[in-house]
Amino acid sequence: MQNIQDEPPLANNHISVDCVVIGFDGEKLKALLVKRIGEEAGDIYNDMKLPGSLIYTDEDLDEAAQRVLCELTGVKSVNLIQFKAFGSKNRTSNPKDVRWLERATKLKVERIVTIAYMAMVKIDRTLSKSLEDYQACWVALEDIKPLAFDHNLIIKEALAYIRQFVEFNPSILFDLLPRKFTAARLRTLFELVYGKSIDVRNFHKKIALMEYVVPLEERQKGVAHRAARYYKFDRKLYNKVRR
Amino acid sequence: MQNIQDEPPLANNHISVDCVVIGFDGEKLKALLVKRIGEEAGDIYNDMKLPGSLIYTDEDLDEAAQRVLCELTGVKSVNLIQFKAFGSKNRTSNPKDVRWLERATKLKVERIVTIAYMAMVKIDRTLSKSLEDYQACWVALEDIKPLAFDHNLIIKEALAYIRQFVEFNPSILFDLLPRKFTAARLRTLFELVYGKSIDVRNFHKKIALMEYVVPLEERQKGVAHRAARYYKFDRKLYNKVRR
């Protein structure tokens, strides 16, 4: 790509994809992060980033997101939903990020527009152990430290997007839950997604209205407190009820 | 931007913004398009495209969208919402599009990722007349011919996005309507957005449930049929009712 003649400064950019993959361990929402190892003035440092990377010439955005997530974490075949492009010129304002990326990609980096994807997955998915360099791991949202680039912002906006998405497609929440779950676990999930506490009794009424959340005969075993009933999500019923 | 050493083929891209601006004339949904003039084998051709262009190095994506829309159509200060990035490598598969863009930008074009924005505006907004080259105009969705690049697809996806968006934020529909409107006009708008006909009586019940659609004392004047009542959208009430 070259300027044929002098013209206003059109941006010459790299494009990356970044994946916000959210899991739920029954108590907390967690994001899947990978380790970043860099060097600054001879010192090795260690921090975290979202699974993401530059795209290849011959791949589409959605393909790139699937490839990058799998390469960096071992997680594949997830329903990655593109939710926003981040293209502020300030994304590369931290020289540390630029130095790291230039070393990693062997490219001169000016500006990177990243296309952000999000997915909700069951947290017991196997993470690749062969990718020691990246050491993918789940980090509770509240424990996430400052990440590379604008990745903290991207996670924040992913959560805002999820909150809206759930309004018209609540089924996505059940992607976070095991096959059977208690009402308490479902309530905790709603509380975390909406960021507010929900009254227990009101929530039982709410569940009763969600025809697609079906009570099972089975109850918890080996618990100190009164054994709670299990529920399951019935996708067929959901698809029927919600048009 | 240059390869420091041999590496896998990372994409080297241009970034553009494209704006899907939707208006409603009381009967039809329309999109704001601009004229494209090109030359192929010595013949001048004329077709249409979305208002869009490459971004500058020193501007963020949202800024670029506002600038480009204003430059090409004269429309400014609209609530442009970023809804999707389009980055298929097939976007530039039509040599005609590439030739046109290379002539317009004086750049060698390989691949362009475009960040698409949408807005709903009142259709009586003044379009700039000084921009004769672009000749911005409203075209009914059903009358839109094949556009440049993947712009037909971008419009299609904008409409799908709007349909979802309206589910949790119906107020955006009222951005398309004049200050006062009849129930029939509002119903037509709902029918167009959802792509299905709505029973008149059911719709009057629906309006009654929308507390923020307030009946006025005023009625239509000088109409052959029975003069219909006017309604207005009460944003304060809407904000109160919808959290």
Confidence of residue A11 (pLDDT cuts 50, 70, 90): low
Please check whether residues B151 and B43 belong to one and the same domain: yes
Query: What pLDDT, on a 0 to 100 scale, did the predictor assign at position B243?
Result: 59
Q: Which of B17, B18, B53, B61 to mutate to test the interface with A (most CBs of A within 10 A)?
A: B61
Looking at A142, A168, A194, the residue that finishes a domain is A168
Lowest mean pLDDT among A82-86, B10-14, B167-171: B10-14
Please check whether residues B64 and B116 belong to one and the same domain: yes
| A39 part of a folded domain | yes
| A106 part of a folded domain | yes
B11-35 pLDDT per residue, tens:
557 899 999 999 999 999 999 999 9
To the nearest whole percent, how much of chain A has pLDDT over 90?
66
B-chain CB neighbours of A111 within 8 Å are 57
Q: Which of A3, A15, A17, A53 to mutate to test the interface with B (most CBs of B within 10 A)?
A: A15
Paired with B114 in beta bridges are: B16, B86
Per 3-state DSSP, what percentage of chain A is helix, strand, and coil (rounded to 5)? Answer: 35, 30, 35
Nearest residue in chain B measured CA to CA from A110? B1
| Separation between Cα atoms, residue A177 and residue A164, nearest integer Å | 19
pLDDT, mean of residues B96-112: 85
Query: What pLDDT, on a 0 to 100 scale, did the predictor assign at position B226?
Result: 87
B-chain CB neighbours of A115 within 8 Å are 85, 87, 113
Residue carrying structure tokens 């080259």: B133
Please check whether residues B193 and B141 belong to one and the same domain: no
| B8 part of a folded domain | no
pLDDT, mean of residues A75-91: 93
Q: Is the CB of B46 inside 8 Å of chain A's CB atoms?
A: no
CATH of the domain at A89: 3.90.79.10
Please check whether residues B150 and B230 belong to one and the same domain: no
pLDDT, mean of residues A195-200: 92
Lowest mean pLDDT among A39-53, A164-178, A191-205, B130-144: B130-144
Query: What pLDDT, on a 0 to 100 scale, did the predictor assign at position A84?
Result: 97
Query: What pLDDT, on a 0 to 100 scale, did the predictor assign at position A89?
Result: 87
Paired with A231 in beta bridges are: A181, A215
Question: Per the CB < 8 Å rule, is A7 touching B106?
Answer: yes
A-chain CB neighbours of B8 within 8 Å are 56
A110, exposed or middle or buried, with CB in 10 Å at 0-12, 13-18, 19+?
middle
Confidence of residue A202 (pLDDT cuts 50, 70, 90): very high
Nearest residue in chain B measured CA to CA from A57? B11
| A207 part of a folded domain | yes
Decide the pairing of beta strands A112-120 and A137-140.
Answer: unpaired
Please check whether residues B196 and B230 belong to one and the same domain: yes
Question: Per the CB < 8 Å rule, is A113 touching B59?
Answer: no
To the nearest whole percent, how much of chain B has pLDDT over 70?
93
Q: Chain A to chain B, count of Cβ pairs less than 8 Å apart? A: 133
Please check whether residues A31 and A142 belong to one and the same domain: yes
Query: What pLDDT, on a 0 to 100 scale, did the predictor assign at position A123?
Result: 94
| Separation between Cα atoms, residue A73 and residue A129, nearest integer Å | 8
Q: Are A231 and A214 in contact (CB under 8 A)?
A: yes
Looking at B113, B141, B168, the residue that finishes a domain is B168
Phi, psi dihedral angles at A17 (to 5 degrees) = -120, 145
Q: Which of B12, B56, B110 sits opposite A10 (nearest CB)?
A: B56
| B173 part of a folded domain | no
| Nearest by Cα to A233 from A175, A151, A168, A147 | A175
A27-74 pLDDT per residue, tens:
999 999 999 988 888 899 989 999 999 998 889 999 999 999 999 999
What is the domain extent for residue A193? 177-241
Query: What pLDDT, on a 0 to 100 scale, did the predictor assign at position B9?
Result: 62
Please check whether residues B36 and B112 belong to one and the same domain: yes
| B148 part of a folded domain | yes
pLDDT, mean of residues B164-184: 92
| A1 part of a folded domain | no
B122–chain A nearest CA distance, Å: 26
A-chain CB neighbours of B86 within 8 Å are 61
Mean residue pLDDT across chain A? 89
Please check whether residues A52 and A142 belong to one and the same domain: yes
Lowest mean pLDDT among A106-115, A167-176, A207-216, B129-138: B129-138
Residue carrying structure tokens 């959340």: A213
| B29 part of a folded domain | yes
Q: Are B61 and B116 in contact (CB under 8 A)?
A: no
Looking at B168, B199, B227, the residue that finishes a domain is B168
Please check whether residues A52 and A35 belong to one and the same domain: yes
Query: What pLDDT, on a 0 to 100 scale, did the predictor assign at position A10?
Result: 61
Q: Is B139 helix (H, G, I), strand (E, B) or coil?
A: strand
CATH of the domain at A182: 1.10.10.10
B52-78 pLDDT per residue, tens:
999 988 899 999 999 999 999 999 989
Q: How many domains does chain A have?
A: 2
| Separation between Cα atoms, residue B152 and residue B142, nearest integer Å | 11
Please check whether residues B48 and B126 belong to one and the same domain: yes
Please check whether residues B213 and B187 belong to one and the same domain: yes
Nearest residue in chain B measured CA to CA from A86? B61
Please check whether residues A137 and A197 belong to one and the same domain: no
| Nearest by Cα to A15 from B9, B52, B20, B149 | B9
Paired with A48 in beta bridges are: A35
Could you tell me the two tokens for B68?
A: 């480009």
Question: Per the CB < 8 Å rule, is A7 touching B107?
Answer: yes
To the nearest whole percent, how much of chain B has pLDDT over 90?
66
The dihedral over CA atoms of B91, B97, B98, B104, expressed in degrees to the nearest 10, equals -130
Q: Which of A18, A62, A89 to mutate to test the interface with B (most CBs of B within 10 A)?
A: A89
State ipTM: 0.84
pLDDT, mean of residues A121-128: 88
Confidence of residue B5 (pLDDT cuts 50, 70, 90): very low
A174-193 pLDDT per residue, tens:
999 999 999 999 999 999 99
B219–chain A nearest CA distance, Å: 36
Q: What is the pTM of this model?
A: 0.88
Q: Is the CB of A195 inside 8 Å of chain B's CB atoms?
A: no
Q: Is the CB of B13 inside 8 Å of chain A's CB atoms?
A: yes
pLDDT, mean of residues B127-137: 77
Query: What pLDDT, on a 0 to 100 scale, did the predictor assign at position A9?
Result: 61
B116–chain A nearest CA distance, Å: 9
